[in-house]
Amino acid sequence: MPKKELLIQGGTVVTVDPELGDLPDADVLIRDGKIAAVGRHLTAGSDTRVIDARGRLVIPGLVDTHRHVWQGAIFGYAPQLSSLGYGPAILAGVSPKYTAEDVYAGTLWGALQALDAGITTIADWAHNLQSAEYADANLRGLQESGIRGYFLYGGPGPAGDDPNPSHPADARRMRDEHFPHGVNGRLRLGMGLRGPCFTTMERTIEDFAFARELGLPISIHAGLAGTSDTILAMKRHNLLGADVNFAHGNQMSDEEFDLVAASQGTISITPSTDMLMQFSTFPATGRAIERGVRAGFGVDTVCSAGTDLFSEMRLALAAERSRANADALSRGEAVDKVDLHQRDMLRLATIDGAKVWNLEDETGSITPGKQADIAVIDMRSPHLDGHGDAIAKLVLGAGPADVETVIVGGDLVKANGKLVGAHVDAARELIRKTRARFTI
């Protein structure tokens, strides 16, 4: 069935398209799930649904490049854990107690958390997959939410006598059964591998070979406090490549950043968990940008951080300005300028995030022909209604409650400040059942 035509009318359209730029008092026409036109005074048909965007900012849907979505039900569960405490408390504590139905409920709710915050694309690093049933449940949660993105097939933590188990062979079934043509609805399949930080190099080599045999992109955690030389070790074993995404990257040396850039690998920057959980002193933001590494933001784990990318943009901006000027400040010198701009943050949260997962031809900017993944931000509240630059106000002040409308592939998933659909209340009841089984 053809989708209803939508016209977003009269907003300030921040396209993040280098040719279109920002368009005050402009419209976005959506037809058949795609952006049909962007401009002023676009005409609406008799059956077109008009969305009033006056006093609003119309931006591309945000892109979260790294999140463990199954944890949606336990948001705020472990806010004072360091990275060392996370494994025992969550991966070895909570995770094994989850049923497949808990994984489904948490993933559905976690994806809805993202959509509520204007995130229309997500890379789900799914690492509570204790069996094929769990993998199917996780995928079902993503599908039913309506979000776009990647299901990154991870695995459970070590169990039994083998501290370094091989990656679940069920990933092959998942590919053949659910992704025989590469795409399943709005979702694609990838691999979340343990990598050298969390298993042996011998096992890493085997896991990489398995992923590449299946033709799937790879994501690993790397550059964390307490780990070193990950990238150098991967280079020695010819594992680097454009198909590898590195989550975090904080502790990488300059040489390692250069190797990632040369191999055309990508980095997912997760400022809140990087700093709150002591993965490192500063996120990788500036060092990745300086080397032209494809990079985007991610929330990572909502157990210890927030659920939105507005917070990540703000923290990344503050942390990078602090890092860049730390030497001068340590000498007691004042600095005359700060270089990183608010627009750099929005770019990382949209088109650059799409590039991390090779989705830039599909989403990440408001460009005619792309999928209609759009967020409309109400800028009329006192904390956002000021004389300054619209993007600065968005990055420095906005939050999920300011996201009035969210559209994914032409479908309204949030309208008038509320998520749309009976599945929202159903998901809330399911996660309450999960929570009732744990001591929060």
In the numeric block, which tokens belong to residue 175? 């590919």
Encoded amino acid at 39, one letter: G
Q: pTM for this one? A: 0.96
Residue 90 is predicted with a pLDDT of 84
Looking at per-residue confidence, does 336 or 48 come out higher? 48
* 3 state DSSP class of 164: coil
Indicate the CATH number of 62-356 among 1.20.120.530, 2.40.160.20, 3.30.750.24, 3.20.20.140. Answer: 3.20.20.140
Task: Give the start-to-end residue ranges of the domains of the chain.
Answer: 6-61+362-422, 62-356
Q: What percent of the chain has pLDDT over 70?
A: 98
Question: Quick one: tokens of 176?
Answer: 């053949």
Torsion of CA 166, 172, 174, 175, to 10 degrees: 130
For residues 220 and 267, give the distance between their C-alpha atoms in angstroms, rounded to a whole number.
10
CB atoms inside a 10 Å sphere around CB 332: 6
The pLDDT tens digits of the residues spanning 248-277 come to 998 899 999 999 999 999 999 999 999 988
pLDDT digits (tens, 9 = 90+) for 214-242: 999 999 999 887 777 899 999 999 999 99
Mean pLDDT across the stretch 304-331?
92
**In terms of C-beta density within 10 A (0-12 exposed, 13-18 middle, 19 or more buried), how is residue 245 classed?**
buried
Name which residue leads in pLDDT, 31 or 334. 31
Radius of gyration in angstroms for the set of CA atoms belonging to the chain, rounded to a whole number: 21
Helix then strand count (H, E) for the chain reads 15, 18
The residue-averaged pLDDT of 71-96 equals: 84
Domain 6-61+362-422 has CATH 2.30.40.10: yes
Question: What φ, ψ does residue 52 adopt, rounded to 5°?
Answer: -75, 115
Measured in residues, the chain has a length of 440
Digit-coded pLDDT (tens) for 139-171: 999 999 999 999 999 987 666 568 889 999 999
Residue 340 and residue 324: Cα distance in Å, rounded? 9
pLDDT 10s digits, 7-38 = 999 999 999 999 999 999 999 999 999 999 99
Mean pLDDT of the chain: 93
Sheet strands (E) in 275-393? 294-297, 374-378
The string of pLDDT tens digits covering residues 294-313 is 999 999 999 889 999 999 99
Question: Would you state the structure tokens that stand for residue 259, as one six-digit string?
Answer: 């190797």
